[in-house]
Structures are given as C-alpha cells and as structure tokens.
Structure 1
C-alpha cells in the first residue's frame, strides 16, 4: 500500500512539474531566455549536478552547447561535439535516448570533455530533441546528487520535457526569424528616409545604437531593449510628412519652416499608431523633442511626465547630432558633446540619463557613432 502511495505521489509530482514547465516555456519566445529556463527547471527537478542542452548545426554536422548548467558549465560551452561523437553525438545521430549509470564502461563515452574541464562524469541520461521527425539537438543530465542512480522514470520524465521543449524551441526560433525580418525591414525603411539628406544618413540607426547603450544600464531585459531599439530607429519617421525642400535646406529655416519641422513627432505617432506591434514605442517617437523643463514640443511635457523612452531618445538624438558633421559645422568630439549635454542637464535632459551617458564615456563605451 505504501509503495503504491509513493508511486502515485511521484506520478503527481512529475505531472505537476510538466504542467509547470509547459506554462513557463510557452510564455517565453526569446530563445535564450527560454532555453535557460528549461534547463534550470530540469537541473532542479531531476536533482542533478549538471545538465546541458545542445542544438544541432546541420551545416557543420555539430552540436554546440546552447545552455550548460553546473560547476563547469561556462567552460564546456567553449566546445562543440561532432554528430556521432560520444554519447550526445550518438543520440543526435540515431535519435535513440541513452541512460547510463556507469559511463566509464560505455564504449561510446568520450572522456575528452571531462579531461578538458576537470569534471567527473559518472552517470547520465541523454535524449534527443525532435520536432516533426527532425532532430534539432539533444538534452542531457549528468550525475544524480547523493550518488543515486538514474531510473527509467527519470528517463521518461526527461523525454517528456524534451518533447515540450522541442516544440517551444521551434516556435522560438520561428519567432526569432520573424523578428529579424521585421527589424531588417524597419532598418531598410529608415535608411531610405535618412538617405534623402546625406548629412543625416544613418542618423536613426546611430540614435538607436546610442539609446540601446543607455537602456542596458537601466533595464537589460529583451523586451525593454527592443522597445528602445525601435524607438530609436523610428523616432524621425514623421519626417516622411515634411517637405523635402525644408528637410534639406542648407540655409537658416524661417519661423514658419521651424513650426512645420516641429510637427514630425506627431506625424510619426499618427503613422505608427495603427500598428499594434508598435503601440508601446509611440511615446519614444512622439516625445523625443520634449525637454525636462517643459519647454519642448509637441506637448510641453515636463520632468518624468516625459516617458522613459522619450527621455532616452532625446539624449541619444542630440548626442548623435552634436558628434555628426553638418553642412555648417564639423561634428564635435565626444568630450565636447558631453560638455554641451551636461550644461543642459535638468534643463533639456533628464539628469539621470545624462549621468548614464557620462558613466558610459568614463568606462570607454561611448564614442562618435558617425565617425
């Protein structure tokens, strides 16, 4: 009776784990975050010293370590495994899982990686990652803690996790491909707009790169960095609606022309508003000419009423403008540009963002992107 009770307790525990993993991995579309999460759950719940997930590079016929957790995790990630080499390579070649509690007796075991990392592999389970009949990698767990043996139940559980992981990985890779296509399309569109004026060519991409540097000091999450990247790329999209003769005018603008130019943040917002995917970056586009003291445009917002995106893009935009060549002047060096920006800290710019820019410069991470 006790044995049956224990059996059902373990089954419920395994099912609970699978449900937990399913809900978590299906909430992640970033491939790196997803795989780190999967393997952290595997390591914790199978109670092992180390685990790794290797993805298959079909062009090279090699497995590379995408995730490796454990004492020597970072060291092992420097290496790759040929398909057919060792236990992991064999599993990738055949698609047949392997459970081995005495690896030194298995003729497939290759001690090379233990030698290179000074890690002792005693037992392991390795299962294939298969999606629609195609092997996309392998997942392995190494050395049960407390010297316990791996069981068939451990193997079944790891296979169940790998089945879920394979679907999630394929979805994440598809999402990544679509996202790359999306960003490439945005960059091409922006380049075409910037190319109208040889003196602003590449400006939007540079603003995006500077803004990302700043943003990573605030919040390095993928979601936030992508919003900043898009805000930077698209901050001047509204200039599509401004007459080219005004945008490319070499002489001084009239007051009327200045007022027309000032409409581009609002025009940019109106252009992007219908696109649901870009709704969250609208403040960065609309507010990048707002000033910290409330003297900016189009709304005259003040202080932290200006969105964080708007405050970041504002500083990045001016930094690139100051350090880039114009028909009427040579671009400033970084130090001189920072002196100008610092003189307007708390007036035009958020002091917090300016301090981040200063810190980047002091650490050698800031330079003239247009040079």
Structure 2
C-alpha cells in the first residue's frame, strides 16, 4: 500500500511539474510574439501527428493544415522541442544563408543518438567546415568521374542478373544503393559482411520514424542497439585500413581521403571518422533508394515521359553497344534525363527539410524567433507550393526545360 501511495505521489508530482513548466514556457513564447501554432500535449507535442503523416503516401496534410490555419510560418512541438516551421521560400533562404551567424545546425536528440555526435549533420565550426570541404572535394574529384559510373554500371548489372521472378523494387534499390555507397566510402565489394551490415542499417533507419523514447518504443530501442553494432563493425574496418596504410596499401575511396587529410591539420579520431561514415551511409542509403523507386513510379504513371527518356537512352546505347559501360560524357549528354531527375527530386522531397537553432533572437517578418529556438526549414512545402510551381503536385519533367527562378 505504501509503495502504491509513493508511486502515485511521484506520478502526480512529476505530471504537475511538467505541466507547470510547459505552461510557463508557453507563456514566454506568447510574450515575445513568436509565430502562432499549436504545441499539442506536454513533452509529446505533435510528434505523433507528424510521424503518422510521414508514414502515409501523402504526408503533406501535416504542413498543409497548419499553413492554412496559421500561415507559412507556424509553431509546433515535435521530437521533444518547440519548433518553428517555415514553409516560406524567402524565410528558408534567409535561415540557410545565415548559417553560422544567426543560426546553427541542430537536430533533435533522438536523431543525434542515431547518427552520432560527430555526424556532419551535427558538426559546427571549424570541424564542420573541414569535413564539408573534404566531402565536396571528394565528390568533385576525378575519382568520382573515373570510378563512380563504372561501379554503378557493374553493380546494377550484377543485381539485375540475380533477379528471378517477381521482385520488390524498393528492396532491390536499397540493396544496390547500399552496395554502391559502401564501395565509394570503403572500397568494399558486395559480400556476406556487407549484407549483414545493411540489415543492421535497416533497423537504424527505422528509428528515425518512430517515437524516440527507448523505454516506450521497441523500434527506437532496436535502432539504438543496431547503431552500436554498426559502429563496432566500422571501427574494425577503420583500424584494419590504418594498418594497411602503414604498410603502403593505397585505395581510392572516402576513407583514404580522410586518412590523407590528417597531414593538413589535426588528425581525425576514429570516433569522428566512424560517425562521419555512419551519417554518409544514412544520407545515401534510404534517400537515394527511395528516389530511385519513385522515379520508376512517376515514369510508369507518365508514359510520354518514359518514352522520351527511353528514346534518349536508346540513342546513346546505339552508338556504344549493349555491353559497353556508360562514361561521364554520356551522362552529361542526357538533358531530358536531367529534367526527370530534377522533377523526381522536387516532387519526392526525400529530404523534407533541415533543422537549425537560433543563435540569437531573430526577427523574421512580424515575428521573433527567440535565442535557442529550434527552426525547421521545410523544403517539401516550398517544392509543393502552387505559388512556386504550376501544378506543383503533378509530375512534369518538361517544366525543367524552361528556366525556373526558384533555387531552393
């Protein structure tokens, strides 16, 4: 009886404290004229609503309903924090252009737990600039031009040859994407080890789309455990590669570029390298495979676009022959293919937006975003806004044959 009474008192006291803190915080936000909105329940906020919306085929209603009610800038409460959402193209540009001055990268703790504190998403200052510069240098290097297309061609053919009967396109796209990303980052070819690592990554990815409370969410708890196994496997790879490097073994991949940069400035620690690799795998795995799958869907639903795309590809294939791999010049001579890529990226919005935090009080239009407030710039809302694109929710690759002034 005493234990029950003690537990009840604790629950009531805890709930009262949370309620009072929540009400006090709400009063503060109202006092400084922050964007209007609804913050939902204490602690949970509107996290259930945004997760359930993004698990459907049409996640737009979460933003659509709030933009309709409050305008293009509104306040909500998701993933444990009160957050200002922007669906305004000019405000989004302002936020992103003032990175490091008025705003800094800041993602919910639940995401940080999955990608690691040294992820490119969470880095700030000099380390972020160094890692970002290194990534862009590698992406623009001759390594990509010389090897990327050849690896894509080889791995796609390898997977196509293994298909028998009915296949699930999304699963196959994820497999191809993971194998390709692993090849570019670590020079690892498809094998039992890479397939086991991919299965662990699938569990990590699932953790991004659930209530981020390990005690209540089995999915999130599994994701945290899988992330630990992934980092352990990558730590072994990094240590083995350091030993190989000391013996004079040289490879052309992202890990080699990280090792080579050690002499430029302070050396990277293994933890930093592993978190960096984890975030790049996360960034490339689910997003790219989903975009590939949606491209097939959009083209299937738009026969005229599929026919024009096939005509462009057939013309190149007729010159090269069926067995010759595509080269960089072939890729650059596909104007309509690029239109399809642009329209797929616009409509699919795999990266729905980015999180930032205000470094100081920032006035935007008639509102104030207080210092320390979380901000989400919604790229999805901008790309699907009728004011920015005619028939914005219709797949129309031909729109990219005419110059479009929107650049976000």
Q: TM-score range by the shorter chain?
A: under 0.3
Task: Give the TM-score normalised by structure 1.
Answer: 0.27
Q: Highest Rg: 1 or 2?
A: 1
Q: Which has the higher contact order (CA 8 A, sep 6+)?
A: 2
